[in-house]
Amino acid sequence: MYAFEDTIAAPATIPGTGAISIIRISGPDAFSICGRLIRLRHGDLEQLPGGLVRYGTAYSLQGKELDDVIVSTFRNPHSYTGEDSVEISFHASSYVATALMTALLDAGARMAAPGEFTRRAYVNGKMDLAQAEAVADLIASKSEAAHTLAIHQLRGGFSKELEALREKLLDMAALLELELDFSEEDVEFANREQLQSLLALVLDKVRSLSESFRLGQAIAKGVPVAIVGAVNAGKSTLLNALLGDERAIVTDIPGTTRDTIESELVINGILFRLIDTAGLRDTDETVEKIGIARSKKTISEASILLYVADARATEEEILAPFRDLLAMADPKRQILVFGLNKCDIFGENPQKWGGNIFVNNINNNVLSIDKQAIIMSFSAREKIGIQAVKNTLAAVIKDQIGESEGTLVSNLRHYEALRKAQESLQAVQEGLDTSRPTDLLALDLRSALTHLASITGMSIDSNDILGHIFARFCIGK
């Protein structure tokens, strides 16, 4: 149970992993507690204003010298938590960290609960709930793209979009509430055609945000790339070439890969999860059948399907498993990349593999599912064209990011709230189409507002709607 009148303390870094460690203290007694333990070279810590950095020495309550320290001061509300805060920097010794934390607790501080500093920041209005969750996303980011996504949310980009939607919906709700208040007068404040137009705009934006979740989550956690194809096409060799490491076992024996093998790789600032799969073929071998079943599951979950074909095979041997892959693909969300491996057999003219006829045959198959494949050639063993494969993977994701035009949703909780808001808005839309009573329309609209508000932690009550009403109308004046 949180008690916000307490002063809390906790290590902000892992002791022993760098040159310095930091302990953060926040709460009403932060300065007085630290003042009991730290003697500054100049000045009294308890009387210091915020925004200063001072040098001093830390002691235990018994007067034992612990370490020379640097103290940074923050006075409310100008701190991360919105409270009086102190940060103590000291040499990264596990012993000093433990001794200093013990001294702070003995002096009256309480050990902070997980996430309590950020929770206090939220309670004190320093950030909303979506921004608070972005702090964890920022810490967990492994790539430039994931970092950019988290920073956008932390800076309030997503929250501003939600606030704009909220304002539009509150305008709509206010008009409907007015109709309910004057129901006996049979007055229609809300022009139904204008409501339909406004609702369409809001619904389109909510739908766009919810549909961005798959891409947003892929960027945050790593874009899943399924490397698929027939046995001995060179899938494992390609994985090793992309990683620059012997991650997968490579042999001439068909069916060597029996299970999915996954590794992470950052390409041009984007984290990818490369997943080598068992070769697609009919087999009676029990273990290999299990591997192929897992391959099919991986294919269904991947954002990019990188099909690897053997340039030495016949056109039908190449296209048959490719057609099987197309039957499993979801053209609405999956990108198809067709790669002809072992192109080194064509010497200095790797484009000799099949020419326009072969390319047309590939695209004719792909067009059957209203999709276009990206076609390239490479040699995984000889490391020919590997950088082009990497650049292609990064380019298609960057194109998708560019097409998203704004915020990408990466948080599952946000996605679920958006989906519920979308369902409520669709109910309002259906109600307008069928001339449903105003009270039912207002109920669905309130539901949509509640779901959107849950993302940032805002509450929606009658006062919000009344505020919009009285800000726009002079009733009974």
Find tokens 């501003």 and name the residue.
160
Q: What is the CATH number of the domain that holds 328?
A: 3.40.50.300
Asked if pLDDT for residue 229 goes beyond 80, the answer is yes
Q: Output the pTM of the full model.
A: 0.80
Confidence of residue 354 (pLDDT cuts 50, 70, 90): very low
- Which tens digits make up the pLDDT trace of 183-206? 555 555 557 778 888 889 999 999
Asked if pLDDT for residue 4 goes beyond 80, the answer is no
Task: Determine, yes or no, domain membership for 2.
Answer: no
Burial class (CB in 10 A: 0-12, 13-18, 19+), 298: buried
Q: What's the token pair of residue 93?
A: 């010794």
Confidence of residue 2 (pLDDT cuts 50, 70, 90): low
Asked if pLDDT for residue 80 goes beyond 90, the answer is yes
Q: What's the token pair of residue 157?
A: 């980009």
Closest alpha carbon to 421 in 169, 96, 116, 252: 169
Asked if pLDDT for residue 394 goes beyond 70, the answer is yes
Task: Determine, yes or no, domain membership for 132.
Answer: no
189 and 331 co-located in one domain: no
The residue that leads in pLDDT, 356 or 263, is 263
Name which of 76-85, 196-205, 238-247 the model is least confident about. 238-247
Q: What is the CATH number of the domain that holds 182?
A: 1.20.120.430
355 and 465 co-located in one domain: no
Closest alpha carbon to 184 in 417, 443, 442, 438: 438
The residue that leads in pLDDT, 197 or 4, is 197
SS3 of residue 261 by DSSP: strand
Name which of 173-182, 193-202, 408-417, 418-427 the model is least confident about. 173-182
309 and 328 co-located in one domain: yes
244 and 365 co-located in one domain: yes
Q: What is the pLDDT of residue 346?
A: 63
For residue 274, the surrounding DSSP H or E stretch is strand 270-276
- Separation CA 167–CA 210 (nearest Å): 19
C-alpha atoms less than 13 angstroms from C-alpha of 119 in its C-beta half-sphere: 10
357 and 227 co-located in one domain: yes
Tell me what the mean pLDDT of segment 54-60 comes to. 96
91 and 182 co-located in one domain: no
Yes or no: say if 202 and 208 are a contact pair by the CB < 8 Å rule: no
- Separation CA 190–CA 173 (nearest Å): 9
For residue 376, the surrounding DSSP H or E stretch is strand 374-377
Closest alpha carbon to 455 in 410, 399, 389, 425: 410
- Separation CA 413–CA 470 (nearest Å): 34
Dihedrals φ, ψ of 263, to 5°?
-145, 155
Q: What is the pLDDT of residue 197?
A: 86
Asked if pLDDT for residue 60 goes beyond 50, the answer is yes
Task: Determine, yes or no, domain membership for 133.
Answer: no
- Separation CA 118–CA 154 (nearest Å): 12
Q: What percent of the chain has pLDDT over 70?
A: 80
Burial 48-57, CB ≥16 within 10 A → b, else e: bebeeebebe
Number of folded domains that form the chain: 3
Name the residue type at position 143: S
- Which tens digits make up the pLDDT trace of 275-321? 888 766 555 555 555 566 677 788 888 899 999 988 888 878 888 88
Confidence of residue 261 (pLDDT cuts 50, 70, 90): confident
Tell me what the mean pLDDT of segment 433-452 comes to. 88
Task: Determine, yes or no, domain membership for 146.
Answer: no
Burial class (CB in 10 A: 0-12, 13-18, 19+), 108: middle
Name the residue type at position 133: E
Q: What is the pLDDT of residue 369?
A: 55
199 and 247 co-located in one domain: no
Yes or no: say if 318 and 310 are a contact pair by the CB < 8 Å rule: yes
Q: What is the pLDDT of residue 438?
A: 79
294 and 350 co-located in one domain: yes
14 and 79 co-located in one domain: yes
Q: What percent of the chain has pLDDT over 90?
A: 41
Confidence of residue 476 (pLDDT cuts 50, 70, 90): very low
Task: Determine, yes or no, domain membership for 320.
Answer: yes
Tell me what the mean pLDDT of segment 47-68 comes to. 95
Q: What is the pLDDT of residue 348?
A: 46
387 and 425 co-located in one domain: no
Confidence of residue 76 (pLDDT cuts 50, 70, 90): very high
Find tokens 């590794």 and name the residue.
263
Helices (H) and strands (E) in the chain, counts: 16, 13
- Separation CA 176–CA 187 (nearest Å): 11
Yes or no: say if 307 and 371 are a contact pair by the CB < 8 Å rule: no
- Separation CA 255–CA 53 (nearest Å): 63
Q: Residue 328 is part of which domain span?
A: 221-404
Task: Determine, yes or no, domain membership for 131.
Answer: no
Tell me what the mean pLDDT of segment 172-179 comes to. 77
Q: What is the CATH number of the domain that holds 102?
A: 3.30.1360.120
Name which of 43-47, 221-225, 284-288, 339-343 the model is least confident about. 284-288
Tell me what the mean pLDDT of segment 268-279 comes to. 87
- Which tens digits make up the pLDDT trace of 82-129? 999 999 999 999 999 999 999 999 999 999 998 899 999 998 999 988
196 and 106 co-located in one domain: no
Q: What is the pLDDT of residue 356?
A: 47
Task: Determine, yes or no, domain membership for 388.
Answer: yes
Which of 111, 126, 141 is at the close of a domain? 126
Tell me what the mean pLDDT of segment 427-448 comes to. 88
Which of 87, 103, 126 is at the close of a domain? 126
Yes or no: say if 215 and 404 are a contact pair by the CB < 8 Å rule: yes
For residue 155, the surrounding DSSP H or E stretch is none
Mean of all residue pLDDT scores within the chain: 83
Yes or no: say if 311 and 350 are a contact pair by the CB < 8 Å rule: no
Q: What is the CB neighbour count within 10 angstroms for residue 294?
A: 16
206 and 226 co-located in one domain: no
Task: Give residue 347's region: left, alpha or beta (phi > 0; psi -120 to 50).
Answer: left
Task: Determine, yes or no, domain membership for 152.
Answer: no
Which of 404, 437, 463 is at the close of a domain? 404
Q: What is the pLDDT of residue 370?
A: 56
